[in-house]
């Protein structure tokens, strides 16, 4: 058994003792009303504490609408939603009470407020083990906020996407209020710090705040069969080890749907590794329209002033790096494409992405970036890539401005990447003037495909790359495009079936074989 298999097996096999026969506790017997008016926070926390004191137990949430502030998870306790159960996040502006205060962690510099605190959430646990939340219920984050301060990092370049340069201070302040304004606010639906052997399964989250789910440094977590329709990030896996996300639908037009990070939120470097994301659908439809089935596309821009987000990404926070990540059999709809980024010094190695379908891609279908943001303490270096394998990807309806992008830096190339059996269908429409563009390097910018502007090739653009293997690439446009299908700058050792590709063996339809 591999390390990945052992951690994932442990996440399932060591669920709470409650699931093995202890008498369940009904939250109503501890005083919960479930009428959508009475605050039921105390009843939930009493039920969880009583189950924990008994050495582990199951807390049942029957049909009803339960208005709550912070619910504190405990080790060896399972929460089970019955059909029709709804937990609504209370709003401190409308209800008497508040969320638990964010932890005092000193001068948090290198990641934003949302990633740096966990207690300011609807559900939260610090160091909890063998915990599960399961069943066909709904978490309605109506009273949560999507906003929070950015990082208190001294270097402002790279803190925000270049697409936000046009926003004035007032607009930034609305998105990033002062930390003092966050006291009593909740900005995550579920937050976990450390701990492990966690299972989240079967429920729905609507409006999850800054992050519907944040797991930081958690070892052994399984997230399956969730439906999340939210106003910012969906599932954030930060410095996790042994994580599986399977069979989830995540709609997040304003930020990433499923994202793997390795920030400094724990106060030290820790890689995100042994992660599997499979059989998921991510999208950037209008908020709420994935759940109601209408799949609206009226929202033109995300808050970063780029097109709807909703993708699967590794990054942006990448201090600790990533290793042994598998993304397979996933679907992207009306959202940005796959992004693999290391810009804060970490190594990205052994990443496999395969069997992916993308429809209506709002920026680049593939974006692999080594950058020099270096958001971290003195001595933070520049990252690297190795063993990146992308195969069996079919993407259509791609924004004509952005081809697939592999972009490193002088002396720090994107390296050791294979592209196999990939079909990319672009809208077309690029001009002769577009073909003459020479994008700036913007080495320390926040990584997004739009950072380079419209690119001078329509299918594949590579700059500062090495050891790139291409096999079975097919690229096409729906309308004519005046740019070349492929362009390389400062690229070493491109091979097709182990043969150096120095003679531009691309036919008129853009096929490389």
Query: Over the stretch 458-467, which tens digit does the pLDDT of each residue have?
Result: 999 999 999 9
Q: Identify whether the C-beta of residue 306 lies closer than 8 Å to the C-beta of residue 280.
A: no
Give the separation between CA 341 and CA 409, rounded to whole angstroms. Answer: 13
Give the separation between CA 208 and CA 255, rounded to whole angstroms. Answer: 12
Other residues' Cβ atoms within 10 Å of the Cβ of residue 216? 24
User: What does the pLDDT read at residue 177?
Assistant: 87
The model's pLDDT over 464-507, given as tens digits with 9 standing for 90+, comes to 999 999 999 999 999 999 999 999 999 999 997 633 333 333 44
Strands (E), 399-500: 404-407, 414-426, 460-477, 486-496, 499-500
Give the separation between CA 202 and CA 131, rounded to whole angstroms. Answer: 15
The model's pLDDT over 111-165, given as tens digits with 9 standing for 90+, comes to 999 999 999 999 999 999 999 999 999 999 999 999 998 887 766 567 888 888 8
Q: What are phi and psi of 334, to 5 degrees?
A: 45, 55
User: What does the pLDDT read at residue 152?
Assistant: 78
The CATH code for residues 1-324 is 2.160.20.10
All residue ranges of the chain with pLDDT < 70 are 1-21, 154-157, 497-513
Q: Which residues contact 20 (CB under 8 A, 6 or more apart)?
A: none
The alpha-carbon radius of gyration of the chain (Å, integer) is: 23
pTM of the model as a whole: 0.93
Domain with CATH 2.160.20.10 in the chain: 1-324
User: What does the pLDDT read at residue 505?
Assistant: 37
């Amino acid at each position: 058994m591999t390390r990945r298999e052992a951690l994932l097996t442990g996440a399932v096999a060591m669920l709470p003792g409650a699931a093995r026969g202890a008498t369940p506790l009904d939250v109503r017997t501890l005083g919960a009303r479930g009428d959508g008016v009475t605050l039921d926070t105390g009843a939930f926390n009493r039920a969880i504490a009583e189950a924990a004191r008994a050495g582990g137990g199951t807390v049942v949430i029957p049909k009803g609408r339960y208005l709550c502030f912070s619910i504190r998870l405990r080790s060896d306790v399972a929460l089970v939603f019955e059909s029709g159960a709804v937990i609504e996040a209370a709003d401190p502006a409308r209800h008497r009470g508040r969320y638990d205060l964010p932890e005092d962690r000193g001068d948090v510099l290198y990641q934003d407020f949302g990633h740096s605190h966990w207690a300011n959430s609807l559900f939260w646990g610090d160091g909890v083990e063998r915990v599960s939340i399961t069943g066909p219920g709904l978490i309605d984050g109506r009273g949560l906020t999507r906003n929070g301060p950015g990082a208190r990092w001294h270097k402002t370049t790279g803190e925000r996407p270049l697409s936000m340069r046009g926003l004035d201070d007032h607009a930034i302040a609305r998105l990033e209020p002062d930390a003092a304004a966050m006291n009593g606010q909740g900005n995550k639906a579920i937050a976990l710090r450390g701990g492990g052997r966690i299972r989240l399964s079967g429920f729905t989250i609507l409006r999850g705040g800054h992050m519907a789910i944040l797991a930081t440094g958690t070892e052994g977590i399984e997230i399956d069969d969730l439906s999340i329709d939210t106003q910012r990030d969906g599932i954030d896996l930060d410095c996790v080890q042994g994580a599986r996300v399977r069979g989830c639908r995540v709609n997040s037009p304003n930020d990433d749907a499923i994202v793997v990070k390795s920030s400094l939120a724990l106060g030290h470097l820790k890689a995100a590794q042994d992660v599997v994301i499979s059989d998921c659908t991510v999208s950037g439809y209008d908020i709420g329209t994935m759940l109601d089935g209408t799949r609206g596309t009226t929202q033109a821009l995300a808050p970063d002033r780029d097109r709807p987000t909703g993708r699967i990404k590794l990054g942006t926070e990448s201090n600790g790096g990533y290793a042994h990540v598998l993304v397979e059999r996933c679907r992207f709809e009306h959202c940005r494409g796959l992004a693999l980024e290391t810009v804060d010094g970490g190594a990205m190695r052994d990443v496999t992405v395969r069997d992916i379908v993308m429809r209506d891609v709002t920026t680049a279908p593939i974006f692999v970036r080594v950058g020099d943001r270096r958001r971290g303490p003195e001595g933070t270096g520049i990252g690297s890539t190795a063993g990146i394998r992308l195969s069996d990807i079919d993407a259509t309806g791609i924004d004509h401005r952005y081809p697939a992008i592999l972009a490193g830096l002088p002396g720090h190339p994107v390296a050791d990447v294979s592209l196999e059996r990939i079909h990319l269908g672009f809208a077309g429409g690029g001009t002769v003037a577009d073909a003459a563009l020479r994008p700036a390097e913007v080495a320390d910018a926040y990584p997004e495909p739009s950072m380079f502007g419209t690119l001078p090739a329509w299918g594949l653009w590579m700059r500062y790359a090495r050891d790139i293997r291409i096999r079975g690439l097919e690229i096409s446009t729906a309308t004519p495009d005046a740019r070349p299908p492929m362009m390389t700058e400062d690229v070493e050792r491109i091979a097709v079936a182990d043969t150096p590709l120095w003679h531009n063996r691309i036919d008129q339809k853009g096929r490389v074989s």
